[in-house]
Structure 1
Amino acid sequence: MTRETRVLPVVAAGAVETPFAIQGYDEVITRDTVWGEHSHPFHELLWNERGASTAVVGARVWTITPALGMWMPAGTLHSGSAVAGTWFRASFFGFHATPSISDTPVAVEITPLLRLLLERLGDQRLSAASRSTTEAMVLDALEPSPRELLVHAPTSALLRPIAEAFHENPGDQRTLADWAAVLGVSTRTITRAFHAETGTSFARWVASLRAQHAVALLTRGWEVEAVAEEVGYRSASAFGAAFRRTTGLTPGTFRAP
């Protein structure tokens, strides 16, 4: 199956007048798909009905799922990807009609209430008054979440081999000392580089990367035990504890039915 690449324009915030306050969109992806870097004149709430996808802003990579969505402020340059079978959803918020919940991209928990309200806006039979009331309720229910599946991608020549190795195999067991020996530098040099480029430690970066990979597998229906082994944990309980420390959520939150 060939990969599809979609090219979208770069549009400044509010540069195009939108005739809506909140408008929904959804699509089932039939081929692995990549969206090139682009921006919208409106704010965007991204979430999935099924599967996991990614959104990239600069060196930051978010995982989007049915449980955790993402708020993309108008005018933000971003790219993304989704594998075949993903059912993604988006809600567009008029730049002049609705306020942004954040000036920067943030995670949003897709609560049952928020989901119901967004689905209600898809009902074409809604009266103007009911639509206005529902839109106000959506805006009231929307808020940034401290829980997010976010990884900062290191890009320096020093850290690139580490990033590539863990993206290829999130279960890689090499430690900080192992990588220092491979790269011919001190552990302190790698530690400083990770903090400078990602804002976190090597261990926390690895845990976040493993959590992202785990979510992608869980949303495809993998058993927790199999996911734990795939991402480098010796048991499901060890994986569960690390996952909760990293995301604040349990693996079961993302398990496909």
Structure 2
Amino acid sequence: MSVPPRAGGTTDPDAWEHRTLPILAAGSVEVPFLIQGHQELIERDTIWDEHSHPVHELLWNERGASSATVGSRIWTITPTLGLWMPAGTLHSGAMTAGTWFRSAFFAIRSTTTIADTPVPVEITPLLRLLLARLGEPGLADPSRAATETLVLDVLTPSRHELSVHLPTAALVRPIVDAVRADPGDGRGLADWAGELRVSPRTLTRAFCAETGSGFARWVATVRAQHAVALLAGGWTVEDVAEQVGYRSASAFGAAFRRTVGLTPGAFRAA
């Protein structure tokens, strides 16, 4: 299980609080709702062990950043970028103390699902407003039904995402471990090829085969995930840029915007 980085804390999963939820197949439990919300302010670094829900789930944060892992893929979740988790999908999650997370559960009968695999969802002001309205006490039909219909109308996949595949091949495992432990590691493809005594082309093929992207893009995504967690934790843009291996805040900002779709400053403001 992967855990988000944090200032002054530990990334050792064994030091975190673990929560256990059941593994349930899609549609295995009848629910009395179409869309139902949940929220919690996390007081301790927390890991949710692998589980699955009988209904669809939309995850996002009101404050902070968190992660969800599906197989070998790790997704970062923020206040502006949520994650659609289809019913029955086995996943785990991690959140650092201080994260205010939100979720909305969608009964299978309420939608044919926006995707049958996890996909990022842009948490727009309108979507946030509609989901908040569904959480208002005493909201009754027909207002609830109309709001639920609007939620389903505006709920669409985002063209941006923050996810990374973790290659498992023995050849690239030293790189994966080193970069994830220290995203500021400045070694490039040629450096690693020399250390591992293979050609740069061999490393490129290995990364592409398992992740669908080359080494440089994979490193940039790992750095962006790390940067999001630090920015959400209150770090300055300049300090984050240095921490994740960029020579200047402007270079970091350009790379961050290509991956996340927002500048670091806009992300912090959001």
TM-score (norm 2): 0.93
Residue in 2 that maps onto 1:231: 244
8 Å Cα contact 1:14/1:96 also seen in 2: no
Aligned-partner residue type, residue 238 of structure 1: A
In structure 2, how many angstroms separate the alpha carbons of the residues matched to 1:31 and 1:256? 24
Matched, 1:126 2:142: no
Residue in 1 that maps onto 2:178: 165
- Matched residue of 2:180: which SS? helix
Deviation at 1:67, TM superposition (A): 0.6
Aligned-partner residue type, residue 136 of structure 2: D
Pairing partner for 1:20 from 20, 23, 33: 33
Aligned-partner residue type, residue 106 of structure 1: V
Aligned-partner residue type, residue 242 of structure 2: E
Deviation at 1:188, TM superposition (A): 1.1
In structure 2, how many angstroms separate the alpha carbons of the residues matched to 1:212 and 1:50? 16
In structure 2, how many angstroms separate the alpha carbons of the residues matched to 1:102 and 1:184? 42
Residue in 2 that maps onto 1:253: 266
- C-alpha RMSD of matched pairs (Å): 1.2
Residue in 2 that maps onto 1:3: 16
In the TM superposition, what whole-angstrom CA distance separates every residue of 1:140-187 from its partner, at most 9, and x where no partner exists?
A: 110000101111111111111111101111010001011111112111
- Matched residue of 1:66: which SS? coil
- Matched residue of 2:265: which SS? helix
In structure 2, how many angstroms separate the alpha carbons of the residues matched to 1:70 and 1:252? 22
Deviation at 1:247, TM superposition (A): 2.3
In structure 2, how many angstroms separate the alpha carbons of the residues matched to 1:101 and 1:115? 17
In the TM superposition, what whole-angstrom CA distance separates every residue of 1:180-236 from its partner, at most 9, and x where no partner exists?
A: 111121111111000001100000000011011000011111111111111111111
Q: How many residues align?
A: 257
8 Å Cα contact 1:15/1:41 also seen in 2: yes
- Matched residue of 2:161: which SS? coil
Alignment of 1:18-167 (within 5 A): 18-167=31-180
Aligned-partner residue type, residue 158 of structure 1: L
Deviation at 1:31, TM superposition (A): 1.0
- Matched residue of 2:150: which SS? helix
Alignment of 1:168-183 (within 5 A): 168-183=181-196
| Identity, % of aligned positions | 68
Unaligned runs of 5+ in 2: 1-8, 10-14
In structure 1, how many angstroms separate the alpha carbons of the residues matched to 2:261 and 2:98? 27
8 Å Cα contact 1:220/1:256 also seen in 2: no
Matched, 1:187 2:200: yes
In structure 1, how many angstroms separate the alpha carbons of the residues matched to 2:64 and 2:168? 27
- Matched residue of 1:5: which SS? strand
In structure 2, how many angstroms separate the alpha carbons of the residues matched to 1:184 and 1:97? 55
Deviation at 1:248, TM superposition (A): 2.3
Deviation at 1:3, TM superposition (A): 1.3
After TM superposition, the runs of 4+ consecutive aligned structure 1 residues lying more than 3 A away are none
TM-score (norm 1): 0.97
Unaligned runs of 5+ in 1: none
In structure 1, how many angstroms separate the alpha carbons of the residues matched to 2:126 and 2:159? 18
- Matched residue of 2:47: which SS? strand
Alignment of 1:182-221 (within 5 A): 182-221=195-234
